[in-house]
């Protein structure tokens, strides 16, 4: 699956607004809820909106942030 397919799949599956737990689950656990909270506190996270005491992420904003963090694995040799 390429990057665009992954983003499109998440776009279809994620609700318009969702919690850190949902973000973690939908990305296969790549980012734990606590990691997302830490990244947000350092200004490096997807940035959320406060709903009561909880933080919620807006789908398109989260996907833009997530896509920036995806790095294609190099197919070149490892210097062997």
Condensed to tens digits (0 to 9), the pLDDT of residues 35-71 reads 999 999 999 999 999 989 999 999 999 999 999 998 7
pLDDT at 39: 96
Do residues 2 and 58 lie in contact, with contact meaning Cβ atoms separated by under 8 Å? no
Q: Quick one: CATH architecture of 3-69?
A: Orthogonal Bundle (1.10)
Has residue 1 got a pLDDT over 80?
no
76, burial (CB in 10 Å: exposed 0-12, middle 13-18, buried 19+): exposed
Please report, for the chain, the start and end positions of each structural domain, with discontinuous segments joined by +. 3-69
pTM above 0.75, yes or no: yes
How many helical (H) and strand (E) elements, i.e. helices and strands, does the chain have? 4, 3
pLDDT-derived band at 75 (thresholds 50, 70, 90) equals low
Task: Determine the average pLDDT of the residues in 4-26.
Answer: 95
């Amino acid at each position: 699956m390429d990057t665009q397919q992954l983003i499109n799949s998440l776009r279809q599956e994620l609700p318009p607004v969702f919690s850190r737990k949902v973000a973690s689950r939908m990305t296969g656990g790549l980012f734990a809820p606590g990691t997302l909270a830490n990244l947000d506190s350092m200004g490096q996270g997807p940035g959320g909106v406060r709903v009561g005491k909880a933080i919620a992420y807006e789908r398109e904003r989260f996907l833009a942030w997530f896509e920036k963090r995806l790095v294609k694995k190099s197919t070149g040799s490892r210097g062997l």
